[in-house]
Amino acid sequence: MTLRPLVLALIVAAAPMAAFAQAPGDAASAPAHRSAKGVGVVTEIDARQQVLTLKHEPIPALGWPSMTMPFHVASPALLMGLKVGQKIAFDTQEAEGLPEITAIRKP
Ligand SMILES: [Cu+2]
């Protein structure tokens, strides 16, 4: 019996794990999180989770068509005074999980 097939199998099995382990810590080559301005209508407010669901208009800067989707809000204070059905303008930034809303304006 030769060890070569076993060694090759281990290398193949380990390669994806190594790639995964390196990716998150490789800040130098990680793309910057893009930010953009958007306009949308509030469809759901979850103050406890700091999640705001919006039916937003297209956001060309991010390549997004119009859609209804949840955003994380950077601060609970951003949700104060908001109501379902209200139209808002917002600043958003890509994040690891949900995109984050960093500012809200009420036109
Ligand atoms: Cu969207």
Residue 17 CA to ligand 1 centre (angstroms)? 31
The pTM for the full model equals 0.70
Residue 31 vs residue 3, higher pLDDT: 31
Residue 79 CA to ligand 1 centre (angstroms)? 19
Residue 99 CA to ligand 1 centre (angstroms)? 9
Per-residue pLDDT tens for 18-59? 444 444 445 556 678 899 999 999 999 999 999 999 999 999
E strand segments, the chain = 35-46, 51-56, 67-73, 87-93, 100-105
Domain-wise residue ranges, the chain: 35-105
Residue 62 in this model has a pLDDT that exceeds 80: yes
Cβ atoms within 10 Å, residue 92:
28
Q: Which CATH superfamily is domain 35-105 in?
A: Copper binding periplasmic protein CusF (2.40.50.320)
Per-residue pLDDT tens for 80-91? 999 999 999 999
Residue 36 CA to ligand 1 centre (angstroms)? 12
Helix, strand, coil percent content, the chain, rounded in steps of 5: 25, 35, 40
Q: Token pair 């809000």 is at which residue? A: 73
